[in-house]
Amino acid sequence: MIFKSNNNIETKQLGRTLAAQMKGGEVICLYGDLGSGKTTFMNGFINFFLPGKRVLSPTFIIVRHYNISNKKIKNILHADLYRIEKVENIDILGLAEFMNKSDKVMAIEWAERLGKYLPVKRIDIKFDIISESKRNITMTAL
């Protein structure tokens, strides 16, 4: 499904809408150029569970954990693989161990860098820059 976002707020709102549908165990894979809106989307997603929480890009630390008090979901992992150079480094991160755990949701920016660790069952979200403030956001559940 393709959504058209006209500004940050609409992108955050889309993130919130997806968050409201989470049951636990999902792996969300985010793709798109730098500045296309992946972290902005995740801001809305995480703020659905943690209103007002400051969501920083995990670019430099690679993975951020958020503990949430939700009936089914205990943690959100927000990862950014931009700085990952070799797929072997995914092993070191232990990301694969967190995938498809029923009490966790994982969201991974630059998920194409997962290589062989890219799970078959996932939600793909592709961000395309249309203009300075417009984005096309394509979601596919695999």
Ligand X SMILES: Nc1ncnc2c1ncn2[C@@H]1O[C@H](COP(=O)(O)OP(=O)(O)O)[C@@H](O)[C@H]1O
Tell me which residues touch Mg ion (CB under 5 A).
Answer: 38-39, 57, 109
CB of 118 to ligand X, least distance (A): 18
Euclidean distance between CA atoms 110 and 65, whole angstroms: 17
Q: Judged by CB under 6 A, does residue 37 bind ligand X?
A: yes
Encoded one letter per residue, x for contact with ligand X by CB under 6 A and - for no contact, window 38-67 reads: xxx----------------x----------
CB of 141 to ligand X, least distance (A): 20
The CA-CA-CA angle for residues 128, 133, 136, to 5°, reads 25
The DSSP code sequence of 8-28 is: HHHHHHHHHHHHTT--SS-EE
Q: Judged by CB under 6 A, does residue 138 bind ligand X?
A: no
The one among 15, 32, 44, 58 contacting ligand X by CB under 6 A:
32
The count of residues interacting with ligand X (CB under 6 A) is: 18
CB of 108 to ligand X, least distance (A): 12
- E strands within the chain? 2-5, 27-31, 63-67, 75-80, 104-109, 123-129, 135-141
> What is the separation of C-alpha 119 from the centre of its chain, rounded to a whole number of angstroms?
14
CB of 52 to Mg ion, least distance (A): 20
